[in-house]
């Protein structure tokens, strides 16, 4: 029956774990007493769900994934913290997501419809938005904040406390040391801002007229002939009718632990590479 929960006899589900309808737990899985699995969650095999971890309905987790292990944070004192994963996430082989730490937010949060390829890692106290894709071996350090519809190429890595705005694209083997503006495209081992994620913007349904406005705003904001404050003030006035531009400016003005990435010296990358993984 579609709503029947099936637990393989070689799996361990500790007393107290909450299982929704239609959950499927394969052989050699381990589900902790504090875990919550929503309706139709599937653990294929050899999956560890540890600590106070909850998975939203429709998630599928592949072998060797470990969700809810203790944070790799020396400041953590061992208190109860959580990992919350949203609905319909696909979590492939060897993925790791850690609990929050009790000296910080005490929770790690992952949104809906995530696509986490093999051996990706989400560290303690991260906040990851909806519809995020992380290609193989992409890594988030602690306290990273990721907006909706962000794509990470394989072997990319975000330094702790960085922020990555919605609809941004992080190229493969890219190091993220600074905040990335919404719609930004970061590439290279030193994480240079190479322009805007044009293909991602098109795929999101953004009108071409708005994309054109954003590209003009990008050039105005990062014009090196004036100070950044002057550029931002001028852009705020010039593009006052563009919600997308105002969103980028609000992100840049908001407080963060890191500075934000600026364009590389070669200017905007005009290539049409959409960063498919």
CA distance 65 to 40: 18
Catalytic residue among 22, 51, 142, 195: 142
Tell me, yes or no, whether 255 lies in a domain.
no
Which of these, 114, 126, 108, lies nearest to 89 by C-alpha position?
114
| pLDDT tens, residue by residue, 223-245 | 999 999 999 999 999 999 999 99
Range of the domain at 107: 6-201
60 inside domain = yes
Cα distance between residue 59 and residue 85, in whole Å: 9
Please report which confidence band the pLDDT of residue 264 belongs to, taking 50, 70 and 90 as the band edges: confident
Q: In this structure, are residues 43 and 20 in contact, taking their beta carbons and an 8 Å threshold?
A: no
Q: How many domains does the chain have?
A: 1
Catalytic annotation present for 125: yes
Which of 125, 148, 179, 269 is flagged as catalytic?
A: 125
pLDDT digits (tens, 9 = 90+) for 78-100: 999 999 999 999 999 999 999 99
Determine, yes or no, domain membership for 233. Answer: no
Decide if 198 contacts 230 (C-beta within 8 A): no
Residue 184 lies in a domain: yes
Calpha distance 36→84 (Å, rounded): 9
pTM of the model: 0.94
User: Which pair of structure tokens corresponds to residue 170?
Assistant: 């992080």
The structure tokens listed for 187 are: 């590439």
Higher pLDDT, 170 or 277: 170
Q: Which of 124, 159, 166, 167 is catalytic?
A: 124
Q: Does the structure show a pLDDT above 70 at 275?
A: no
pLDDT at 50: 98
Q: Is residue 224 part of a domain?
A: no
| CATH at 194 | 2.160.10.10
25 vs 78: CA distance, rounded Å: 28
Q: Looking at the domain assignment, is residue 253 inside a domain?
A: no
Residue 107 falls inside a structural domain: yes
130 within some domain: yes
Cα separation, 83 vs 57, whole angstroms: 15
CA pair distance 75, 202, nearest whole angstrom: 43
């Amino acid at each position: 029956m579609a709503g029947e929960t099936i637990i393989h006899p070689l799996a361990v589900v500790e007393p107290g774990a909450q299982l929704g309808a239609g959950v499927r737990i394969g052989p050699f899985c381990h589900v902790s007493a504090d875990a919550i699995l929503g309706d139709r969650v599937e653990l294929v095999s050899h999956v560890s769900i540890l600590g106070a971890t909850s998975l939203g309905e429709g998630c599928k987790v592949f072998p060797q994934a470990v969700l809810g292990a203790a944070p790799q944070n020396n400041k953590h004192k061992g208190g109860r913290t959580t990992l919350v994963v949203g609905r319909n996430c696909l979590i492939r082989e060897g993925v790791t997501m850690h609990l929050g730490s009790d000296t910080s937010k005490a929770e790690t949060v992952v949104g809906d419809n995530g696509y986490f390829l093999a051996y990706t890692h989400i560290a303690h106290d991260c906040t990851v938005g909806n519809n995020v894709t992380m290609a193989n071996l992409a890594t988030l350090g602690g306290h990273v904040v990721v907006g909706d519809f962000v794509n990470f190429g394989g072997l990319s890595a975000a330094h702790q406390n960085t922020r990555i705005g919605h609809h941004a694209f992080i190229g493969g083997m890219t190091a993220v040391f600074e905040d990335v503006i919404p719609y930004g495209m970061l590439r290279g081992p030193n994480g240079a801002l190479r322009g805007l994620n044009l293909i991602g913007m098109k795929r999101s349904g953004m009108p071409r007229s708005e994309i054109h406005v954003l590209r003009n705003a990008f050039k105005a904001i990062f014009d090196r002939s004036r100070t950044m404050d002057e550029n931002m003030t001028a852009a705020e006035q010039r593009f006052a009718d563009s919600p997308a531009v105002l969103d980028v400016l609000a992100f840049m003005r908001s407080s963060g632990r890191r500075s934000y990435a600026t364009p590389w010296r070669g200017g905007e990358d005009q290539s049409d590479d959409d960063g498919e993984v």
